[in-house]
Structure 1
Amino acid sequence: MNRFSLADKTLRLLAAQVNLNGTFRHLCSFKNTNHSLIFVLEVERAPAGTLFTVIIADEKHSLTVCDPDHDTYLVLADFIESIANGRTDTAEPATPRNSAESVDCGELLDSTQQEQLQQLVRKGGSLKLDIGLDEVVNLAVHRTPGRQGITAILATGDSSPRTQCFTPSGDDQRSYKQLLQSLEHLATSAVSAALAA
């Protein structure tokens, strides 16, 4: 059965956006067709809970989550898909979501990309990653002989690039975690800048 659903890349972005305040634009695609819905997600975080407002065409729906956890983005994704498929007024339960490995714990990268990033940290070099932004993220990692740590440069965008450069010290696992954290920060700032434009 064809129905509207969110792509894995959109789920990865939602996983980051549930922890931010702001307004975000996304697509909800109709499976096996080229048809899609554009929706706007407004996130308002407060000490008592987080208010999510989903706007599709002239409809506006709200969801308040009082005790957010690492699966909040899945609850939000089910809510968005229910709206897109017309199930919010009927109280029809959403179909069970098969959580993709690539979205586990809000990670931006799928397992292949994670392995590429770990290899980059171990050996150095450069890599282009597609993490669901309008443009790919370019990564360059330099290994300095004789000391633990890396120097990393991350960049996305051509006309007004967003870049980060840092040098974490420590073992490969620590460097990988810091590189991943920097990548998530770059993705979040690039999405926010694109929406503000």
Structure 2
Amino acid sequence: MNRFSLADKTLRLLAAQVNLNGTFNHSCSFKNTNLPLILVLQVERSSSNTLFTIVTGDEKHSLTVNEADKDKHLVLADFIESIATGRMDTAEPATTRVRAESVERGQLLDANQQEQLHHLVRKGGSLLLDVGLAETVYLAVHCTLSRKGITAILATGDSCPRTQCFTAYGDDQHSFNRLLQSLDHLAASAVPAELAA
């Protein structure tokens, strides 16, 4: 099964739009294909949750996300990627990709690996991690000088590499949590389709 991954520009747009009410037109480009996904995103916010409605052609999908979830744009991105992959066949939202395929953080890394990640967040450097996938995960972390935070690059795979890059500002714990979250997403995208089903 082909796994579509939204381009960084689209993720930045979604991060802003999840905090607004309104209708937004998107021509989503994906990192691993030249085919765009044309969609209309409708955002309806309330005090307790946000309702996202995705209209693509004659299909309509909806997703409700709790307002307390800080990474609503990532949940929405996973939902859009699932629609593009063809895993959504009803208007009722299925479990999002991150929830369905992600290994629980406690199972993904052992205590030694978590300590190695804490060290990377504090000092910077690079690391090879075996998280139980067929391929090793490569991490490179740079501690930013202008403000407290990190810039991280994560990659896995040789024949079909998957990469993530981000900058997170905040204390060490915030940066560590963002690194774990990105590692979760990367591991989820690398899980073979037969194991994810």
* TM bucket, shorter chain: 0.3 to 0.5
TM-score by length of 2: 0.45
Structure index of larger Rg: 1
TM-score by length of 1: 0.45
